[in-house]
Amino acid sequence: MQTYKHAKYLSFITLSSILVACGGGGATKPPSTTISSAVSSASSAPASSVSSVASSAASSTAALKALIKLNQIGYKPSAEKLAVIPAVAATTFTVTKTSDNSVVLTGNLSAAQTWSPADESVKLADFSSLTAEGEYTLTVAGIEKSASFKIATNAYDALNAGAIKAFYFNRASTELLETHAGIYKRAAGHPGTKVYIHKSAATAARPEGTIVSAPKGWYDAGDYNLYIVNSGISTYTMLAAYEHHADYFKTQNLNIPESGDAVPDVLNEAMWNLEWMLAMQDPNDGGVYHKLTSKNFSGMVMPDADTSDRFMVQKATPATLDFAAVMAVASRIYAPYEATYPGLSAKMLNAAKSAYQWAKANPALYYVQPSDISTGGYGDNNATDEFAWAAAELYITTKDNAYYTDLNPSAVTADVPSWPGVKSLGWISLAHNVDSLTGAADKALIKNRLDGLATTIVAKKAASAYGVPLVDSDFNWGSNSGALNQAMMLLAAYKLDNSKTDYLKTAQSLLDYVLGRNPTDFSYVTGFGVRTPQNIHHRPSEADGIAGSIPGFLAGGANPGQQDKSGCGVPYPSNLPAKSYLDNTCSYASNEIAINWNAPLVYVSAALQVLTP
């Protein structure tokens, strides 16, 4: 297992031609109407959650210490609502209605405590009792600047739509038309119709240099390569969001090319990547190639300017099992849409079974980076979790008890998922489908696995001065996705037993953290919040000539490892775990985006929108 979520970029340090392209100017985005039309024209949520980015302003580290930190997007009426207050002398807070400055709530602040990841002494303001929709201002004596927030029944509709639309903005092999992309329109790049079999992937049926076609897919992160391992967890999380909360997505219109057909847009978007994944399976034996990539990372250019040769590189057991799991899930989710995708559900299930059999015949074939390839490794030398996940999904879809036996559930624990650790994805799926499982399933074990993990996460929140279940060790590469994956596990457990309201509250706090209740005062989702990343490490955002970042992307977040600092040339504002974040294009260690980081944002924003009463 790799130490860093995106350890693939350690080799990136040597690419000085790329690292020189630091700095995006720090300008704010264009007016909100431009941003909101690019994200979605159909969400019923007000555009103000997007438009507030126009008021984004840089603050010094000293000034940030005196700020009230809260969710910059807002809250559903019955949600737990917390704000972090610097440890001033005041013992109370006041909430006023913004429209007429009338006082609607006064409350007591908690006692001051120090939060180790930020080395800050803070108090908490709990204004959960305020449930009326509207716009409000929270003030505390001794803090010059108040904080504004909203309460709305559709609090996360626009955020969810934007998080999904980000995947559209990262599509390979297609032009993004102004009709759908607004000012972020661009030419097509990486057609994927001429891909070479790399020598590491050569077989008798497909010798080195064989040309194959594998178009579509999502660019993995800030680069233009495509990786099955990371596509696995990302596509699954998107599909799980739909499977668990289907009604929420059925009327959503994202203004993508497929909008208006018989298929929900989140499934239309996922299909763009699923079709690429299917092309990554060798039809001759069922094995799946680890990645489709150029030999080196491109410069900071638009997709159509990167014309380097592309290769399918080495088959590997983890990639093949990730593929098997995702295709088993997709088979059952797309089955009702047979009229739109005739024969596809069966094709996906057959592909999953074939991949699973290949993996059983090759149980420990791990990816080794060839000497002439320097793009992301995504190496994983333990496929135990991938075997468990694939077996779980095949069992759910086929009802074949042999797969449940392969799962060996008593030996599989639950933890917070990540791209190299996917066993808990199986627990999420088993929990959602628990009522339709065969008699072989231990339903009590399924519930206990999720409850045990959720209880551990909730305990971390209770001990946190910031009211979030994050400790020093949670701050690493892609820390924001780790926070949201914790929330996803909590919400899956809450669905099983909605009397466990602490699960819901803790998930809310994790989303709050990502959306501004954090020591940096950033809402880490581009275009959504008062202060958002303007210079993400993302080639189209850097090379498109438009100030700021394309909206809807989740930045990786605070990472004290600072693996990019030697080549960045711009200092981090702090070395403290929760403050080690740099809004600069050169900071791939804290400010890159990735599909496996956006996917849990899709899941959590939808689940909280649906499950919060």
User: Which residues are part of the catalytic machinery?
Assistant: 223, 537, 583, 592
Give CA–CA dist 245/480, Å, rounded: 23
Q: What one-character-per-residue DSSP string does 126-149 give?
A: E-TT--S-EEEEEE-TT-SS-EEE
CA-wise closest residue to 550 among 222, 235, 225:
222
Q: Report CA-CA distances (Å) from 373 to 61, 172, 405, 595.
A: 40, 20, 39, 22
Largest Cα separation within the chain, whole Å, is 77
Give CA–CA dist 493/483, Å, rounded: 16
Residues in the chain: 613
Give CA–CA dist 470/196, Å, rounded: 44
Q: What one-character-per-residue DSSP string does 70-139 give?
A: --SS-B-TTS--EEEEE--S--EEEEEETTT--EEEEEEPPPPEEETTTTEEEEEEE-TT--S-EEEEEE
Backbone φ, ψ for residue 462 (5° rounding): -60, -30
400-404 LR contacts (CB < 8 Å, sep 24+) = 401/438, 401/440, 404/438, 404/440, 404/441
Residue type, 380: D
Q: Where are the alpha helices (DSSP H) in 475-571?
A: 479-496, 501-514, 539-543, 565-568
Please name the residue that has the structure tokens 């060798």. Answer: 282
How far does CA 540 lie from the centroid of its chain?
18
